[in-house]
A and B are shown apart, each in its own frame.
Chain A
Amino acid sequence: MDLSYGAAAEDFRAEVRSFLKEAWQPGERRGRELGDYVRAFRRKGVDQGYLYRSVPKAYGGSQRPVDVIRAQVIREEFARARAPMEVGGNGVNMTVPTLLEKGTEEQKALFIRKTIEGDYIWGQGYSEPGSGSDLASVRTKAELSADGSKWIINGQKIWTSMGGKATHMFMLARTEPDAPKHEGITYLLLDLDQPGITRRPIRQMTGQTGDNTFFEFFFDNAETPVSWQVGERGQGWQVSRTTLKHERASIGSADGLGRQFSKLVELAKDMGRIGDPLVRDRLAEIEGRVLSHRYSSFRLFSCAAAGEDAGPIQLMMKLLLTEIGHEMALLAQDLIGEAGWMDPDAAGGPRGPIKWLDQIMGSLGNSIAGGASNIQRNIIGERGLGLPRDLAMGGER
């Protein structure tokens, strides 16, 4: 075992660091001026081969061979210099890799550059009110127009992140109602700026709402050209499973949990409870799991760097994160205690109970978003441990 990155990586680090010293000097720029500066900076980052490494040059990327160590060094140095990395969100994480693997030449040319430069913001059109964990049961319908040039879409999608800002959507729509459920779905791209689409924000249990949160979308004869269909008609399920294998393993993937744990320790201090043996015991017990998660992320990264399969641990990281988040939320709840929760002035103060209330409720969201916890347990049991599949989910007797 060795947690250093090696001499070649350190040379590369020096190179990235000197680039950043030169190229990232935002100074006092604000607003639009800063926006333009960031855009130009990202272009320089692409020219250096630091950003959009898996995207071909023809579409605005830097087209570099997969190298998770270099990718990690880049992330660390950009973070250290507080320089902006790639544009985040569904577009870069999902649309671009899917198009690179399954898109037509026209689609790649039309969407990839605009997406990585931040002009197109993508919403995910997967979940429906009647289709959550059973995603392949989607009912939003797409039918060909009489002349065969357009898909006409009717139905409803829900839980679209960044729904207020999205300009485009990738969606799963039912196009062959008579086919078995996994074979009747087509993967479509569409422009959200059209009369047949209504969007509405969802107010979450935390009270949060607005452009950056979840939205639902209603489609009433919305349209999209047939040429915006990705993959074959009826093959949308497979398209949506397109593996994302582009330097995604990262050392920092567990940092968020570590930071949250540090805040929990601070909370225990602020509430005057850090000397309480029971509190110390619970903190240390939780930390055992936080560190297990952190070192397992090192393990995943190490396997990715060596091109080896990490095994069942990769199926466990999401559920582990969720469960540790729950434990931290419960301890935070106890630390704040009755007096804290009942205090009419609790909203005040930077570390006040109200901020923790959001975290405590947010931890509940984790057990739903991106694959519900019971589905994660099925995946660990079936794909990780090789247990027989549930008959209702396609298992064979």
Chain B
Amino acid sequence: MRFHLSEEQLAIQDAMRGTLGQVWPMERLHAFADGDADFDADSWAALMALGVGGIALPEGEDGAGLGLLEAALVCEVAGAACAPGPLIGQLVAAMAVAASENGEAKAFLPGLASGECMAALAFGSDLVACARGAHLFLVDDAQGLALVEAGADVSITPHRATDRSRPVSTVSFSRAPRMALFAPDDPHTQRIRDAALILIAADSLGGAQHCTDVSVSYAKEREQFGQPIGRFQGLKHQLAHMALDVEPARALLWYAAYAWDAQLPDATRAAVMAKAHLCEVYTRTTRAAIAAHGGIGYTWEFGLNYWFRRSIANRAWLGSPAQLRARAAELAGW
């Protein structure tokens, strides 16, 4: 019986954290947010050099042979750093292609694993994050899951949108050739959708933890009335409340990822619950973090707005918490 992270799993997160600490400091995030690009080649290359792209692929298919849980741990750290790039799309596309039998699509697998070939997620809506740099799109529509190669048949209209760390574009695939992966009713289709929900939940957990951590640090340093403000019970209780929201939710995410890896009967519902809950936690926590910082938290320079924005995007992506709760109710047979 094991339901906490192993040394190896913690080491994966440490490596990710170390790399992002070097290649993605706040100055880079600021510059990126003010620029026009929807992709940052340097930080992407640094992450891919760690082998992140193939983390959840079988060892025989250019992967590390680990599971969705490890992929989620990676996305958690990316969320904490507000890292740019279509990491969730990359991981989900690689898993979908690896599970499929489509030879044409499979030819892209080494590139997906190494990161040289970048994939964005085009699920449900025509808004796609990090679309301009993508070589591939994983499309989920009425015809099921398919891989579509970027090119003349794919039109992309960029937007200046809420989430500055992963800008979105409107993408249309009208006549683009599809490499079909799974039919809509194929169980794999459901599994891939579930995986996407779990990775968004993981990104949200990382962001929420980051917001709690910076708020606690600030409360230890900032002095008013001659003492650190973290000594005042009012703020101490607000911070305790943030931690009480975030820390227990970690196990909800772990369970969802474990249920997916072990293909438990409640895997889909676990993914739905995790995404709904973690996204609520993320928005609550970013709001609370800005409140805990006072004036500095309301400045652009301090940067908390990037996490706030990302929490809104995560929340809207692939179903709002309310929509997912309605689905969870249905799945429970209520």
Binding site for B on A (CB under 8 A): 1-6, 9, 69, 265, 268-269, 274, 277, 280-281, 283-285, 287-289, 291-293, 295-296, 298-299, 301-303, 305-306, 308, 310, 312-313, 316, 319-320, 323, 374, 376-378, 380-382, 384-391, 395, 397
Contacts and interface: CB of A to CB of B under 8 A. Distances in A.
B1 A292 contact: no
29 contacts: A1-B258, A1-B261, A2-B3, A3-B1, A5-B1, A9-B1, A265-B332, A280-B326, A284-B326, A288-B273, A288-B277, A289-B248, A291-B252, A291-B255, A292-B248, A296-B248, A299-B251, A301-B3, A308-B4, A313-B251, A316-B243, A316-B247, A377-B236, A377-B240, A378-B237, A384-B243, A385-B240, A390-B233, A395-B231
Nearest to A72: B1
Given A302-B4, A387-B230, A387-B239, A288 B255 contact: no
Nearest to B216: A385
A313 B247 contact: yes
A164 B178 CA distance: 76
A189 B41 CA distance: 70
Contact of A2 (B2, B236, B248, B280): B2
A381 B3 contact: no
Nearest to A382: B236
A295 B220 contact: no
A69 B249 CA distance: 24
The SS class assigned to the B binding surface is helix
Given A283-B329, A380-B243, 7 more contacts: A3-B258, A284-B326, A292-B251, A301-B1, A387-B216, A387-B220, A390-B236
Given A281-B326, A285-B280, A287-B273, A295 B251 contact: yes
Interface residues of B, number: 43
A299 B254 contact: yes
A4 B1 CA distance: 5
Contacts of B228: 387-388
B207 to A, nearest CB: 17
A378 B243 CA distance: 12
Interface string B241-269: 10110011111101101100100000000
A76 to B, nearest CB: 12
Contacts of A387: 216, 219-220, 228, 230-231, 236, 239
B276 interface: yes
Contacts of B227: 388, 397
A386 B216 contact: yes
A390 B232 CA distance: 7
Which of the listed residues A3, A274, A293 has the most CB atoms from chain B within 10 Å of its own CB? Answer: A3
Contacts of B216: 385-387
